[in-house]
Amino acid sequence: MALYSTPILGDNLDASMRANYTFVRADARAVLNNYYLGLIEDIATGPENDDIDLEGHMAKTETTTETTDDHIQIEELDEELATKAREELGDEKIIEMLRSMVLQRRFEQHAGRAYQRRKIKGFCHLYSGQEAVAVGSMTAATDDDYVVTHYREHGHALARGMEPNGVMAELFGKKTGCAGGRGGSMHLYDVERNFLGGWGIVGGQIALGNGVAFAAKYRDEEAVCLSYLGDGAIHQGIVHETLNMAALWNLPLIAIVENNEYAMGTALERVSAVKELEKKALSYDMASETVDGQDVFAVWDAISRARKRAVTGEGPTWLDVRTYRYHGHSMTDPATYRTKEEVDEVRDLRDPIVRLRNWLVNEDILTQEDIDAIDDEMEKVVKDSVKFADESDFPDVSTLTDNVYVEWPAEID
Amino acid sequence: MREIAFREALNEALAEEMKRDEDVFLMGEEVAEYNGAYKVSKGLLDQFGPRRVIDTPIVEAGFAGLGVGAALAGLRPVIEMMTFNFAILALDQVVNHAAKARYMSDGQLSCPLVIRGAGGAGGSLAAQHSQSLEAHYAHIPGLKVMMPSTPRDAKGMLKTAIRDPDPVIFIESEVLYGFKGPVPEEEYLIPVGKGEIKREGADCTVISWSRTIHLCLAAAEQMAEEHGIEVEVLDLRTLRPIDKALVAESVKKTNRVVVAEEGWPWASVGASVAESISRELFDWLDAPVARVHQRDIPMPYAYNLEPESLPSEEKIIEAIRKVCYL
Ligand SMILES: Cc1ncc(C[n+]2csc(CCOP(=O)(O)OP(=O)(O)O)c2C)c(N)n1
Ligand SMILES: [Mg+2]
């Protein structure tokens, strides 16, 4: 065989190579103490969009609506659905929705900054831009419903009503975190709120969501499972295995595809033979639709209807929710696969918070001053959560082996 | 000699083998336009074009299986797994298909496939993204498993893996990608199944691989400085098949052995190495083989807990002292 046609280095080092190993030895400690070496060396660039600033945004759209020339026309919310939401939810609930969305935006801004200060480590995926999906869907859910989601879930957790303090502390790896510092950003849990995580293997969580839906049906609960996944996850085999079972057995599963157009650096159209994801459900004879994910009422409406179907035994729903993420995939992604103009355009024309805010002001439900006050309040809540997280203790080392059967108590034997 | 980073060494190996052999192609998530999640495939799309450097959907089982089939049909696929945490989605394709093809077909089929990517623990990535899974593969007859610890080894070993007629699992330490070291300019290969003494010593043998080698080297330096103990550091490099001859040679010289690994203790590669030494070299041992490994738990995120769970220089020193009765 031509396998070893090229010279093979000796079994052991020749003299010149051995001399070079001095380098390896001397440097081994220094290098290996830096855990972040290969992994997040791009971190210096930081989140490229920390300038996502609610105030800046609002000020900008406000002035541009007055200057007529290079006038940016932000899209309005669907009027019919907004009217329906107002009737069914009432103004107070809608103000709650705005508050939650603002909370999320502020939370992510401060999480990004904490990451740059190395207070948050590992992988951290920010949710900014997608707030209407979390808030619209959670508003349609009841306390009895379940949530199973993926790693980009800070917004889901906050929208479900989890305490900002506990979520931020989890990001900081503190014992006061919602998973005791064990999970971090990707693995948030709150079983009391039926929030069953926070999972990091793309696509895996949808099967769990189906199992939770199965359990709800098994016990005759009037509950559904909201199961979130990304546009990149939809191709995984397990997603299709799951959809078939969900449809076959009429399970109360609502699969919410947060289609933010990219999976890491890969635009959807580069990897999906089908461009309208709604069609994917056809092969399982499952209800499906495409939803404007930047319109919080549209999300609320679609999930409400899906929920009704699920609890009346009409089976699962698959939703292609069109949204957008403002930050890079994670904190180390310089996002060179899309232009700044593209991001700006979405922010200028479809920002879910600004759209809701415009509607609230136009309907005379809130004034700009009210909204500024909400923003200030949420900013304070988040800043307090950062302080809380920072001041909390790390988990006690004696708890290292809690919650698992440990066969090998020692690390040396 | 020039020094280049681990990821650059791998990149050179890929480029050279793709140039040498038209049948070699690279496929995986983000390998082409994004230049690789860890930049190992940087520039390869520009150099070889989209026919041979191919971005996939996130479907590990699907593209690993495609790789197995393409290999059975005579191509030489290099399948990149973004990390081995995701490679286990394709375990069936590897274990039930790739590893069995030659044997089940009575030698009619070959499966010259490389499945490579980042592996190992650390980086505050929490339980699902921080684990050392080499034992899963080392367990399987029909596979070869390689884990380099230096840029030089990485290049020479990957080139060999690509030329190998059988499926090779090639796990690159995620935390070593930026690690620089000497790499010869001229072409060379490092054979499958050959370990290497990374540091010579007569008093105690420490056997390890991948990233943990560097902890062993640091521990060895400290033992020499503080106790005058000369530790021999043996880098297995290939975990299946194991270089038993080199292990025997070293153990017969030092009579004391520590096996250090990043993975969990039960049913691990280290466990098997220790077992085989205890059985086959029993008469040569002056102390029971000691082992250092990760704690027997999923990895916690909290960055004060993670180091408690991982092997460290200190833990390796403790084990060396134990076998040397110090
Ligand atoms: C099985 C698996 N393969 C690869 C990865 C690495 N990875 C993490 S997120 C991601 C992209 C997912 O994109 P998408 O589903 O669109 O969700 P988004 O991040 O856009 O919210 C990839 C490839 C993973 N975590 N799990
Ligand atoms: Mg996406």
ipTM of the complex: 0.96
Helix (H, G, I), strand (E, B) or coil at B128: helix
Kind of pairing, strands B204-208 and A146-149?
unpaired
Superfamily of domain covering A42-61+76-399: Thiamin diphosphate (ThDP)-binding fold, Pyr/PP domains (3.40.50.970)
Q: Kindly report the nearest CA distance between residue B7 and chain A, in angstroms.
A: 8
**Cβ-contact B261, B132 below 8 angstroms:** yes
Q: Least CA distance to A30: which residue of chain B?
A: B218
User: Model confidence at A54, in pLDDT bands (50, 70, 90)?
Assistant: very low
Lowest-pLDDT choice from A97-106, A108-117, A293-302, A328-337:
A328-337
pLDDT at A16 over 70: no
* Averaged pLDDT, A152-163: 98
User: To the nearest whole percent, how much of chain A has pLDDT over 70?
Assistant: 83
**Cβ-contact B235, B196 below 8 angstroms:** yes
Q: Kindly report the nearest CA distance between residue A341 and chain B, in angstroms.
A: 19
Q: Which two tokens stand for residue A311?
A: 């609890």
Nearest ligand 1 atom to the CA of A330 is: 19
**Per-position DSSP letters for B45-106, written without gaps between them:** HHHH-TTTEEE--S-HHHHHHHHHHHHHTT-EEEEEEEEHHHHGGGHHIIIIIGGGHHHHTT
Chain A residues with beta carbon closer than 8 angstroms to that of B56: 271
Q: Is A45 part of the contact surface with chain B (CB cutoff 8 Å)?
A: no
Q: What one-letter code names the amino acid at A337?
A: Y
**Residue B192: closest CA among B147, B231, B251, B125:** B147
CATH of domain B3-182: 3.40.50.970
pLDDT of residue A81: 98
Q: Is A24 part of the contact surface with chain B (CB cutoff 8 Å)?
A: yes
- Cis omega before residue B241 (within 30°)? yes
Residues in the 5 Å CB sphere of ion ligand 2 = A 230-231, 260, 263
**Residue A151: closest CA among A193, A180, A181, A122:** A122
User: Model confidence at A408, in pLDDT bands (50, 70, 90)?
Assistant: confident
Q: How far is the CA of A36 from the centre of ligand 2 (A)?
A: 25
pLDDT by position in tens, chain B (length 326)? 999 999 999 999 999 999 999 999 999 999 999 999 999 999 999 999 999 999 999 999 999 999 999 999 999 999 999 999 999 999 999 999 999 999 999 999 999 999 999 999 999 999 999 999 999 999 999 999 999 999 999 999 999 999 999 999 999 999 999 999 999 999 999 999 999 999 999 999 999 999 999 999 999 999 999 999 999 999 999 999 999 999 999 999 999 999 999 999 999 999 999 999 999 999 999 999 999 999 999 999 999 999 999 999 999 999 999 999 99
Residue ranges, CATH 3.40.50.920, chain B = 196-323
**Per-position DSSP letters for A132-192, written without gaps between them:** HHHHHHHHHS-TTSEEEE-SS-HHHHHHTT--HHHHHHHHTT-TTSTTTTSS-TT---BGG
Chain B residues 169-208 within an 8 A CB cutoff of chain A: 173-179, 181-182, 186-191, 194, 196-199
Q: Which two tokens stand for residue B270?
A: 């280290």
The verdict on whether B60 is a catalytic residue reads yes
In order of B33, B50, B90, B134, B156, the CA distances from B84 in angstroms are 21, 24, 10, 9, 21
Structurally, what CATH architecture does the domain formed by B196-323 represent?
A: 3-Layer(aba) Sandwich (3.40)
Chain B residues 29-68 within an 8 A CB cutoff of chain A: 29-30, 33-34, 37-38, 55-59, 61-62
Q: Is B27 part of the contact surface with chain A (CB cutoff 8 Å)?
A: no
What is the C-alpha to C-alpha distance for residues B97 and B91, in angstroms, rounded to an integer? 9
Under an 8 A CB cutoff, do B220 and A25 touch? Answer: yes
pLDDT at A270 over 70: yes
Chain A residues 150-169 within an 8 A CB cutoff of chain B: none
Q: Is A40 part of the contact surface with chain B (CB cutoff 8 Å)?
A: yes
What is the C-alpha to C-alpha distance for residues B166 and B109, in angstroms, rounded to an integer? 10
Nearest to A186 among B6, B126, B264 (CB): B126
Q: How far is the CA of A263 from the centre of ligand 1 (A)?
A: 6
Q: Kindly report the nearest CA distance between residue B140 and chain A, in angstroms.
A: 23
Helix (H, G, I), strand (E, B) or coil at B198: strand
Chain A residues with beta carbon closer than 8 angstroms to that of B132: none
